[in-house]
Amino acid sequence: MKAIPIPAIAGAYRFEPRPHQDERGTFSRTFDADVVRSVGIDPAAFVQDSASRSHKGVVRGLHLRRDQGEAKLVRCSYGAVFDVVVDLRPDSPTYRAVETFELTDESQVTIYIPAGCAHGFQALTEPADVAYRIDQTHDPAADIAIAHDDPTLGIPWPLPVTAMSERDRHARPLSEVIGRRG
């Protein structure tokens, strides 16, 4: 597994495994504490693993946490997703940068998203499973949702949106959310 910095989002990394393929199928290491530690991320900081299954066209996000936020390791474990990270750390050199990725079960690439960045994705396949490793215990009172279609972000969602949560459907534009983060 190797760690590759993502220049568009300061402190973000792409962890690329080296899958082994033979007549049985594929084996891939999806997390390696030594590799994570080698780029300055504490592997012991992750306290929660979560998973989602989405139908094709579903958008989840853009989600963010108030206060200190939360860092995430995100991977598509089945199918494919269009993944989005938005840097919303005011002191970051890449503040307000948007970066997109296609994450697939074939590549098993994991994206490290630093605390203070918003995250979302759209399922490209039927279904798409996403696995998350998160460094904060969930606190629903700290959840923030940003409109996925905010024109100031210009996210090029590849498919028509087929469904989203009620919270995401009523998410506010970034300009309204930035002032409420504290």
Catalytic residue annotation: 63, 132
Angle at the Cα of 54 from the Cα atoms of 30 and 161, rounded to 5 degrees: 125
8 A C-beta contact, residue 164 and residue 60: yes
SS3 140: helix
For residue 153, give the nearest of 72, 102, 91, 88 by alpha carbon. Answer: 88
Cα–Cα distances (Å) from 89 to 14, 38, 102, 142, in that order, read: 19, 23, 23, 16
Please tell me the distance from the alpha carbon of residue 45 to that of residue 178, in angstroms, as a whole number. Answer: 26
Quickly count: other Cβ atoms within 10 Å of residue 102's Cβ: 14
